[in-house]
Chain A
Amino acid sequence: MGKGFLSFAATVILQAVGSGYRYGFDIIDMTGLPGGTVYPALRRLEGSGYVVSKWEDQIVAQAAQRPPRKYYELTREGREALEEAVKRYRLLEQTELNKDRDPKPSRA
């Protein structure tokens, strides 16, 4: 998977992961991007080494009565690439991502 130029969508997704939105639907809800863009982009970013994924601990999941989730996390390279890309996409700099979050299911 090639590194280098990040698309706008990839940058937004990277930013969302960096801001603590850590699994697929969370990112979808936050960014408003369609799932068909988000998941392939996550796989691409993982292939480029900008994010790593990790399965949720079985015990945590069982306690919450759901199958374990896959969480994504920024790597150091990902953080650098994000900083660089954000400079390119000026608009994103102003976007304040709300860290205090309470995910609500969206109704398309």
Chain B
Amino acid sequence: VAAYSYDKRFFAKPHIWFIALVGVIVPRRLRADWRQEWEAELRCREQLLAEWDRLDWRSKLDLLQRSLSAFWDALWLQPQRLEDEMFQDLRYGVRMLFKSPGFTTVAVLTLALGIGANTVIFGLINTVLLKPLSGREPERLIGVYSHDTTRADSYRLFSHPNYTDLRAQQVVFDDLLATNLFGAGVTEGETTRSVTAVKVSSNYFSVFGVQLAQGRPFLTQEETQPAPVAIVSYRWWQQRGAPPDLVGQSMRVNGRLLTVVGIAPQGFTGAISFFSPDLFLPLSFDQPGSAGGGPPLQDRNRHDLMLVGRLKRGLTLDEANARLKILSAQLAEAYPGTNRDQLITVAPLPRLAISSAPRNDRGQIAAISALALSLSCAVLLIACLNLANMLLARGAARRKEFAVRLALGARAGRLARQLLTEGFLLAALGGVAGLALSALAIDWLTDSLEQVMPVSLNLDARPDLRVLGVTLGFSLLATLFFALGPALKAVRLDVSTSLKEGPGGDARASRQWRPRNLLVIGQVALSLCLLVAAGLVGRGAFQAIRIDPGFDLDRAFYLQLDGGLAGYDEEQTRQLYNRLTERVRSLPGVEAASLALTPPFGEFTFGQRVQPGGAPYPPPPDAATAAQGRPVAAHYNVVGPDFFRTLGIPLRRGREFRQTELAGTGAPREVIISTTLAEKLWPGEEALARTIRLAGGSDADDPGTGAFIPSEGRLQQTFEVVGIIQPYRDQLLPPGDHPLVFVPFSQDYHAAMHLLVRVSPGASVDTVLRAAREEARRLDAILPVLTMKSLRLHLETSLGVWLLHISALLFGTFGAVALLMSLIGVYGVNAYLVAQRTREIGIRMALGADRRVVLRLFLREGLALTGVSLGLGLVLAGLVAQMMRGILFEVSPFDPLVFGAASALLAFTALIACWLPARRATKVDPLIALRHE
């Protein structure tokens, strides 16, 4: 084999050099043979070339190129690897894991929790942030917006004529769709249910580039001419047992009979990634009874369509905006009444919201995701530190085995690979278990979210390839983290001393456990962070339940009504609501009853900007005070008479709305405001009998609220303040008493209202609630009663509380896992220490040290370690708390109770973990310990 080493000019021959290089990846068993063959071939070739005097640079290049074939050859031999060392390593690893089932179980569970937590979080991030919209080339779908260039925050939706103008212009979009979200009631048998529906233009599905699962899309004429047709979602179809003949059947929507003409494709979501409407209706479908039916679709003043365009291929957003600027100018010239100063722009669609203004919520979601992911990574890191610790301890126990193998001729690299293989086996098992855990957790999470969300969700967070890939990545990362250190340590083993040493008799023991100390310090410090985070969030969730809203939650309930969904117009609905309220009031056990647009702690609050009556309108942009016309953002509600008595909110001054104010539109324009609002409008002055003006939605001031834009006519009018109430809390987030403004039902008609009922003391809420429901059925069987709940239950099942609870649960789980792991970690280190120093203890005790001294010796070391960890952990936890400031609910990020309790809990745990091994140390019998020699 050495016969070809005669060549002295080895490095002058790049092809030979290349073979030597590539040979490394050939399985060792085949390497010598492989190399010899290739070298022989290349040298023979070289020699022949030399004989013909043609060894010029081109031939040399050719030779080098030919040697590249060796690379493919070597690659092809890779599978053979499995047959030798790697397979051996794996088999040996599996045997080792089976040999210590306790260790394996703990290790796999630890990793499963760490990897599972990361997979859950990443699965959610994937769904919310990364998964593309349905349809083809979703990156070309963009939102279209329109705003008045002379006013700030004046974004508005589009009118249908404007939409058709834009669609006709083929300079920016390939195609353009219009959609409008609205609530629909579907009557099946005796009951009417509320479903989420969208009105869509006829090209809706073709713009997304999807094919209907069955049936046909809407026709062009159905977009403008009222037609009794509907398309249902795939899920809707499935939920009804997937009847093959659904297309062609009729259904009753908002009191009208429609024919199902199509079924949307499976998993189709439309413009928001995980929100899926159940019902698609043509734009011409007009919701009866809403705000007086509204102007016809062709009215240029009716701005209620959201547009999504498919951008022309190759067009950038800037180019599109430049072209739209010209287009806007043309439109402004053609329709000065409605389009003057209106600038049409495009921007990427937000992930989670439908909005008239361009919003980029990716940054916000990404920030929350990053926080969640970093916390779950901390769990994984703790798990890895813990495991590294366990493996180090195991490595110490296996020193002899390694020494024997090294002495028998094993290479150090092989030993390290063996350990890494075992580590990866553990990580792979942990990854599989983690994936299973995360699937369970995500199922549970989506189920519970669907219970509280007001709209139907399409949260398909099942792991896709990306999630699987990331899980694999986490497993590999974990392997590197926990197995590499111990593996490197094993490699640097000194054979002769290791073979000679007796059990537990390592003279260098105190030096050996240093890296383990660092691991424990890191682990305990991280655990403290997680515990503090869990404490802060948990305290917030607790706070949310015990919240004092300023009124009595326990003796009240509501029925959610929507006459519009049954097809009633304004007149019919008003009469129905009045009669129902009267009849419920006369039920036994009812103290008071009233109507309200939104109940306290509802999913939506309406925002409204309020100005003093005499202030200039529109509000001057430079107004600094309310007196100069600067509007105050307030929560807006429409209520009936007796509303405040029903909730139990004291009136400070003035009176409630009167019964006559319910009668109709001719009633005087009156409002009731909270003292908070009065103080902001007229600081230190009497507010009663003054007037205010409603200046439109306060979307921009308060992103937590939905926008409510009054029709132009009402803006000119002023309302007289007839009552001032004590402020109360009408929503969980953001905390604090928000300014409140109330308008009587007569002034602002809504088909969807809540009937609030207060039960007299001693009466059962449940009984009265059932009686009220029965009364509504007797009065009108088709009137949709969408939900009925006690206010307490309403608060506890609200989205805000759900969010707080879920995050408390999430962080709590992380914290508990971290606590458990640090218990194991600290215990492990101390137990190891005691085992290592058995001989020393024996000598000490033989020389007269008593048990207390030995106990103190070990406790002191363990506690010193814990003290350092806690100090470091407190600093880290402070940083984490600072980062969490934005998501905390009414808890200071430096809540002393939480910090104190978390530190105490961790210190106590560490104490136990130190004490158990220390106690074992005192049980050492000096005679036996010394006999170890």
Chain A contact patch, size range? 20 to 34
Interface residue? A67 (CB, 8 A): yes
The answer to whether A36 touches B68 (Cβ under 8 A) is yes
Taking CB as reference atom, which chain B residue is nearest A47?
A: B80
CB closest chain-B residue, reference A61: B3
User: Quick check: B40 and A35 within 8 Å, CB to CB?
Assistant: no
Q: Using Cβ atoms and an 8 Å threshold, which residues of chain A touch B712?
A: none
Q: Is residue A62 contacting chain B, with contact meaning CB distance below 8 A?
A: yes
A28 to chain B: closest CB distance in Å? 8
A2 within 8 A of B: no
**Does the CB pair B40–A39 fall under 8 Å?**
no
| The one of A65, A69, A105, A108 that contacts B52, using a Cβ cutoff of 8 Å | A105
Digit string of A74-88 for contact with B (CB within 8 Å is 1, else 0)? 000000000000000
Residue from A35, A65, A67 in contact with B66 in the complex, judged by beta carbons closer than 8 Å? A35
A38 B59 Cβ-Cβ under 8 A: no
| A101 part of interface (Cβ distance < 8 Å) | no
Q: Are A70 and B3 in contact (CB under 8 A)?
A: no
Bound CA–CA A83/B71 (angstroms): 31
| A107 and B58 within 8 A (CB) | yes
Whether the pair A25, B39 counts as a contact (CB closer than 8 A) is no
Contact of A36 among B39, B45, B69 (CB under 8 A): B69
Using CB atoms, name the residue of chain A closest to B30.
Answer: A43
For B659, what are the chain A residues with a Cβ–Cβ distance below 8 Å?
none
Partner of A105, one of B3, B54, B77: B54
Q: Is the CB of A70 within 8 A of B36?
A: yes
Pairwise interchain contact A36-B43, C-beta atoms closer than 8 A: no
User: Which of B39, B49, B52, B62 lies in contact with A67, CB distance below 8 A?
Assistant: B39
- Which residues 51-78 of B sit at the A interface, judged by CB distance below 8 A? 52, 54, 58-59, 62, 65-66, 68-73, 76-77
A32 on interface, CB distance cutoff 8 Å? no
The complex places the Cα of A67 from the Cα of B4 at a distance, in Å, of 5
Residues of A within 8 A of B71 (CB): 36
Verify B37–A24 contact, CB threshold 8 A.
Answer: yes
Closest to A62 in B: B3
Q: Which B residues are CB-close (under 8 A) to A24? A: 37, 41
Is B48's beta carbon under 8 Å from chain A?
Answer: yes
B73 A67 Cβ-Cβ under 8 A: no
Give the docked Cα–Cα distance between A65 and B33 (Å). Answer: 19
Q: How far is the CA of A70 from the CA of B34 in the complex (A)?
A: 10
Distance A66 CA – B49 CA, assembled complex (angstroms) = 14
- Residue contact B3 to A108, C-beta cutoff 8 Å: no
Contact B45 A35 (CB under 8 A): no
Q: Which of A11-70 contact B (CB under 8 A)?
A: 23-25, 28, 34-40, 43, 55-56, 58, 61-62, 65-70
Q: Are A70 and B48 neighbours in the complex by a CB distance under 8 Å?
A: no
Q: Smallest CB–CB gap between A40 and chain B, Å?
A: 4
Cα of A35 to Cα of B3 in the assembled complex, Å: 25
| Residues B69 and A38 in contact, CB atoms below 8 Å apart | yes
Give the Cβ gap from A48 to chain B, nearest Cβ, in Å.
Answer: 14
Which size class do B's interface residues fall under?
20 to 34
Cβ of B47 < 8 Å from any Cβ of A?
yes
Q: Do A67 and B40 form a contact, CB below 8 Å, given A35-B70, A36-B73, A103-B48?
A: yes
Q: Hey, which chain B residues are within 8 Å of A67, CB to CB?
A: 3-4, 36, 39-40, 43
Interface residues of B in 398-445 (CB under 8 A from A): none
- A36 CA to B65 CA in the complex, in Å? 11
Contact pattern, B 307-345, Cβ under 8 Å of A = 1, otherwise 0: 000000000000000000000000000000000000000
Instruction: Indicate whether B44 reaches chain A with its CB closer than 8 angstroms.
Output: yes
Question: Within the complex, what minimum Cβ distance (angstroms) separates A34 from chain B?
Answer: 6
Q: Is the CB of A108 within 8 A of B40?
A: no
Q: Write out the residue numbers on chain A whose beta carbons fall within 8 Å of the beta carbon of B77.
A: 43
Q: Are A69 and B54 in contact (CB under 8 A)?
A: no
**Closest partner residue, chain A, to B71 (CB atom):** A36
Q: Find out whether the CB atom of A70 lies under 8 angstroms from the CB atom of B73.
A: no
Report which of B41, B48, B66 forms a contact with A69, defined as CB distance below 8 A.
Answer: B41
A residues less than 8 Å from B48 (CB atoms): 103-105
Given contacts A25-B41, A66-B47, A105-B52, whether A43 and B59 have CB atoms under 8 Å apart is no
| Contact status B36-A68, CB under 8 Å | yes
Given known pairs A67-B3, A68-B3, A103-B48, the reply for A23 and B72 (CB within 8 Å) is no
B47 in contact with A39 (CB, 8 Å):
no
Cα of A28 to Cα of B58 in the assembled complex, Å: 19
Is A105 touching B45 in the complex (CB atoms < 8 A)?
yes
Contact of B3 with A43 in the complex, beta carbons under 8 Å: no
Q: Contact at A70–B58, with CB atoms within 8 Å?
A: no
Q: Are A35 and B52 in contact (CB under 8 A)?
A: no
Whether A40 pairs with B73 at a CB distance below 8 angstroms is yes
Output the least CB separation between A92 and chain B (Å): 23
- Distance, CA A107 to CA B52, complexed state (A): 12
| CB-CB under 8 A for A70 and B37, given A36-B73, A43-B73, A105-B48 | yes
Q: Does B73 contact A39, Cβ atoms closer than 8 Å?
A: yes
Residue of A nearest to B4 (CB): A67
Question: Which residues of B have CB within 8 Å of A34?
Answer: 69
Please measure, in the bound complex, the distance between the C-alpha atom of A62 and the C-alpha atom of B33, giving whole angstroms: 18
CA gap between A68 and B36 in the complex, in Å: 8
A25 and B44: CB pair below 8 A?
Answer: yes
Q: Report the 4 A-B pairs with minimum CB-CB distance, sorted nearest first.
A: A35-B69, A36-B72, A67-B4, A39-B73
Q: A37-B72, A40-B72, A68-B36 are in contact. List 11 more A-B contacts (CB 8 A).
A: A35-B72, A43-B73, A43-B77, A66-B40, A67-B4, A68-B3, A69-B40, A69-B41, A70-B33, A104-B48, A105-B45
- Cross-chain pairs A/B with CB under 8 angstroms, 11 sampled: A25-B45, A36-B73, A55-B36, A62-B3, A67-B36, A67-B40, A69-B37, A70-B37, A105-B59, A106-B62, A107-B58
